[in-house]
Amino acid sequence: MNPDEALAKGAAVLAAQLAGADHKTKVILHDATPLSVRILVNEGQFKPMISHGTRIPTSFTDQFSTYFNSQTTVSIYVFEGEQPMAEDNNPLGKSKIEGVRPAPRGTEVFDVTFCIDREGVTFSALYKKGDVRIENAVKVEGRFGTVSLEEKQRMIEASFMLKEVDREEDERVAA
């Protein structure tokens, strides 16, 4: 049995007992994301897509735009973790969209969709412009949720303790 599942089941049973439920009470346990799923797009946009603790299965789509003038390729890097800086999180995978129409920064837009189920994470990027449709889907296999329970707890605790430092770093990067 997965250690995370064992912990969650034990916590659910204990909570039911503490709440005064008898042994006939049905306990329902839902799968949830162990850590937030975040993406880094265009060397500057680092954003949480799905928060930790979100019930799965789930999906989320957001729209992004090109970061540079005349940009023809968009790179998307996926991470799990709670820190606002990419290098402080666990990398899961990457994707690339090639063939974007050269245009001024922010003109060309694309959608990034995440789907999380019991099998793991799938993310896809879709760029549409007129007759041009470019889609790149990536299945993250075997790495999502593999961070140890202790490491997950450390990451979550660190995110709360470093919130002010992270906010200042975000402001510096945005400037």
Query: For 1-39, what is each residue's pLDDT tens digit?
Result: 566 676 677 777 767 766 776 666 666 667 788 788 888
Sheet holding 73-80, edge to edge: 45-50, 37-41, 73-80, 90-98
pLDDT, tens only, 66-125:
888 999 888 888 888 888 778 888 888 888 888 888 999 988 888 888 888 877 777 777
The pLDDT value recorded for residue 1 is 59
The pLDDT value recorded for residue 99 is 85
Q: 73: domain CATH number?
A: 2.60.34.10
Residue 141 or 79, more confident: 79
Taking the model in full, what pTM does it have?
A: 0.66
- Claim to verify: residue 99 and residue 161 sit in the same structural domain: yes
- Claim to verify: residue 14 and residue 93 sit in the same structural domain: no
- Claim to verify: residue 58 and residue 82 sit in the same structural domain: yes
- Claim to verify: residue 136 and residue 66 sit in the same structural domain: yes
Q: How far apart are CA 41 and CA 50, in angstroms?
A: 15
Q: Mean pLDDT, to the nearest integer, of 132-149? A: 65
- Claim to verify: residue 22 and residue 43 sit in the same structural domain: no
Residue 22 or 146, more confident: 22
Closest CA to 145 of 57, 39, 34, 6: 34
pLDDT surpassing 60 at residue 138: yes
- Claim to verify: residue 85 and residue 158 sit in the same structural domain: yes
Total tally of structural domains belonging to the chain: 2
Whose structure tokens read 């991470």?
A: 79
- Claim to verify: residue 85 and residue 19 sit in the same structural domain: no
The pLDDT value recorded for residue 160 is 65
Three-state DSSP state, 144: coil
- Claim to verify: residue 61 and residue 10 sit in the same structural domain: no
Residue partners of 142: CB distance under 8 A and separation at least 6? 120
Q: Mean pLDDT, to the nearest integer, of 135-156? A: 65
Domain that holds residue 90: 32-174
